[in-house]
Structure 1
């Protein structure tokens, strides 16, 4: 799995009981009691519980929506040490850049307000070239020379919004030949997402892209957000100009920090394009505390016992596995990661859904919504279903809780479920006008539906596209789903409603984009029948 997956199960990362948490920040310091505990929580509850929010055991990995990774104690100490002082930010950035260069053996380093912000700053640097008069024109690139960014189609993803925010035109290519033709005087840079298709030997590998770009002087930005830090950086060794990492993933730095390594001149231009400097990057402010926290995370990376961490993760998975295998029909397997991103072992717990009468998706939903809440992955097909557990963000003691919780669910006796659906009381075949109330706006969509028994298929016309829709009806309840896709982006519409008096009303689940409400009414057409006469030739007058 990689960070581009959209999570099925949402939540908040727990910090209570974390063996990485700094006692001085969560409790008392040498200077007295922490200010955090004045109003938000008592000694018997966490700061999240004080807000009425459940914490979640994270068995999914370093997803931002769960809180990223747990910060190293060295990071928390650096953040605390940095607070309460004032420094000149350019001097700080230069000092950190120099130290990152020494630690990573890169030409230079920079800390940004997250990996995506780093992508934006490098793009702005490639467009403006360190010229502040050009910089402050962004995103209006009408008078600028460098206005295009080339991206292989396989690298399009939801994070390239950070690049497009600069106002550039994205040029997608599918082959080396197309990339050769795409490069011109307007090309600001080439962006590539690290992964299997960028590896050596692939048609548009990093090596091949560098070979094409270098004669034209076009920089190559590589997004390695969820990768382990390699020293020296493997991608810089392969020819990338700048490599971007997330601070809140494998490196276990601040969740709101990113790490950029590479060409010094380009990174100095990227720093110029970020806060505290005014311009298009002012909205991506990184604090001195996060900057020094990120530096501390890189320092810690060079001394961490990575083999011991891995052994600990395996031991947690084995503890859960042993508990699961006590259930008849359950098999388990620990799989090693492939590629460079999200490097952690994963436990797969498998069974036949017709034997235990429950699916992996249902188990994942159960533990995601009910206490103790746990974020796990799942998959299902007709003959086999499974859940998967990633341990790199679990905390000591979590394995026992997870094992007991899953054992309780999977060992429960269940009766076979009938696949028979309740007979529909309505026929939704036809055209429907769909009025949607989003959080702060309204929109009108269309359904073109065909119903056969309980099942529906058809088309959904949304704001900017027409896509297939499918669904089901039981009695007067209807569920519909469609998927809107553009390069790098995906939105699922999950409609759930009740039919009454020739109208449908209900809610729309929009995944990470929260929810909306809708009301659909059948489209009405003129009852008048008018004969149509087609002329026999061109008109004699206009």
Structure 2
């Protein structure tokens, strides 16, 4: 793998790590990065030209003076974390932002746009049909509604008050998570069972849907990817998505797979459709880097039609989950961009910067920084320290880091480079070094 210092400029920032470090040696990294743009020997403001990332890296000055601070007094942070909704999700690349601006210039029939965008998304995913939604939760709700009503207009009008027998959502407890109230919001009655045997025995004429989480395969369905050392294999008692699809086929009950955040690998876009899933849920604002307020529901044509009929702009249970024309276009552009990326090169870039960051932090007395592959297929930095040398609890350390300058947020015990634009790992490394030194005995 090419070292971080030697990666060619054609697919990275015009300013190199050596330039950053050189500037840091002369004036301090904060000084080198404390301008509105990062420059290399007087070059114009750095941009990413044709790489997997968009825009330029945040700088110390940017983080203290921007639209959020000026308008509302809210401080942004460097996102050394996964695509966490509560932390702002992701950042859209230039072509997605440009699509939003252009889409804003025109009026379109929203039903026509919804159908056309869905057809394009379905083509990319290899599905019979698809719709663009206002996010993963909206996709879960609309998929549930579709399984409850089909295209029966009277039943659509009744939701969420379900008076007919086929209304249960049967969930094996390992697949239970904080968003399963999306099923209930549609009108489902959630029924939880533990064992595989009990699950299968409970399938009867009252069961309208079988949901499953794709992340259950990596053993951490409710949290971001973890290092392999911190991961546990999925117990044999858990019904994996492929088996759930088979069970659904055997009993003629629709199966909905939630793989909202499991991209890359991009093969996952088609994988569960190819396995026969009736519905598949994808978040638009995570790996696809479309607006945070977008998502995808793809699968069987009849169920997608039922979901579309109940979604905005129509006046049924999905009316409140409105999505704008600009967001629909941005999702399609983001999806097409994503599947064109060189996935191997993208992951290698994340990994190279994670390796560099781990090496930079490992030299700090008392700190253990491990470059570690995670169960999502890429590398992070697992961070620990000897509290007899650096006497601070992890929770307090993260609070100080977040409240400092620059503000930096990481999740769990893991510092991630996936969301960092090239150059931002320098801010992370130098601020962590500074803080660990300040807090050391």
TM-score, structure 1 as length reference: 0.64
Q: Distance in 2 between matches of 1:171 and 1:414?
A: 52
Q: Tell me by how many angstroms 1:289 deviates.
A: 1.0
Give the 5 Å matches for 1:188-267. Answer: 188-196=208-216, 203-228=238-263, 229-230=266-267, 233-267=270-304
Maintained 8 Å contact 2:145/2:187: no
Q: Distance in 1 between matches of 2:278 and 2:267?
A: 16
Q: Tell me by how many angstroms 1:47 deviates.
A: 0.8
For each residue in 1:429-457, what CA deviation from the matched residue of structure 2 results, as whole angstroms up to 9, or x when unmatched?
xxxxxxxxxxxxxxxxxxxxxxxxxxxxx
Bigger drift between 393-402 and 113-122 goes to 393-402
Which of 133, 143, 150 in structure 2 is aligned with 1:112?
133
Q: Distance in 2 between matches of 1:231 and 1:81?
A: 30
1:46 lines up with 2:62 in the alignment: no
5+ residue gaps, structure 2, are 1-35, 38-46, 57-61, 219-233
Shift in CA distance, 200/211, structure 1 to aligned 2, threshold 3 Å: farther
Which of 246, 270, 276 in structure 1 is aligned with 2:307?
270
Q: Tell me by how many angstroms 1:414 deviates.
A: 4.1
Which of 143, 157, 167 in structure 2 is aligned with 1:147?
167
Q: Distance in 2 between matches of 1:294 and 1:320?
A: 32
1:331 lines up with 2:368 in the alignment: yes
Give the 5 Å matches for 1:5-404. Answer: 19=48, 20=53, 45-50=65-70, 51-142=72-163, 144-196=164-216, 203-228=238-263, 229-230=266-267, 233-339=270-376, 343-378=377-412, 387-404=413-430
Give the 5 Å matches for 1:370-519. Answer: 370-378=404-412, 387-412=413-438, 414-415=440-441
The RMSD of aligned alpha carbons is 2.4
Q: Tell me by how many angstroms 1:46 deviates.
A: 1.4
5+ residue gaps, structure 1, are 1-15, 24-41, 379-386, 416-542
Shift in CA distance, 318/186, structure 1 to aligned 2, threshold 3 Å: same
Q: Which has the higher contact order (CA 8 A, sep 6+)?
A: 2
Q: Tell me by how many angstroms 1:270 deviates.
A: 0.8
Bigger drift between 398-407 and 81-90 goes to 81-90
Match of 2:26 in 1: none
- Please give the secondary structure, in 2, of the residue aligned with 1:140: coil
For each residue in 1:76-130, what CA deviation from the matched residue of structure 2 results, as whole angstroms up to 9, or x when unmatched?
1221221121222222122112212222222222110001000000111111111
Shift in CA distance, 72/264, structure 1 to aligned 2, threshold 3 Å: farther
Shift in CA distance, 79/356, structure 1 to aligned 2, threshold 3 Å: same
Q: Distance in 2 between matches of 1:164 and 1:366?
A: 39
Q: Distance in 2 between matches of 1:304 and 1:133?
A: 45
Q: Distance in 2 between matches of 1:205 and 1:321?
A: 34
Q: Distance in 1 between matches of 2:122 and 2:93?
A: 21
Q: Distance in 1 between matches of 2:177 and 2:268?
A: 27
Q: Distance in 2 between matches of 1:305 and 1:360?
A: 36
Match of 1:384 in 2: none
Match of 1:428 in 2: none
Q: Distance in 2 between matches of 1:46 and 1:172?
A: 47
Maintained 8 Å contact 1:154/1:197: no
Maintained 8 Å contact 2:369/2:383: yes
Q: Which has the higher helix share?
A: 2
Q: Distance in 2 between matches of 1:185 and 1:265?
A: 20
For each residue in 1:297-335, what CA deviation from the matched residue of structure 2 results, as whole angstroms up to 9, or x when unmatched?
111112112223223222332332233233223232111
- Please give the secondary structure, in 2, of the residue aligned with 1:356: coil
Q: Distance in 1 between matches of 2:367 and 2:339?
A: 40
Match of 1:540 in 2: none
Q: Distance in 2 between matches of 1:165 and 1:413?
A: 48
Q: Distance in 2 between matches of 1:308 and 1:21?
A: 15
- Please give the secondary structure, in 2, of the residue aligned with 1:233: helix
Q: Distance in 2 between matches of 1:357 and 1:22?
A: 38
Shift in CA distance, 212/103, structure 1 to aligned 2, threshold 3 Å: closer
Q: Which has the higher strand share?
A: 1
> Which structure has the greater CA radius of gyration?
1
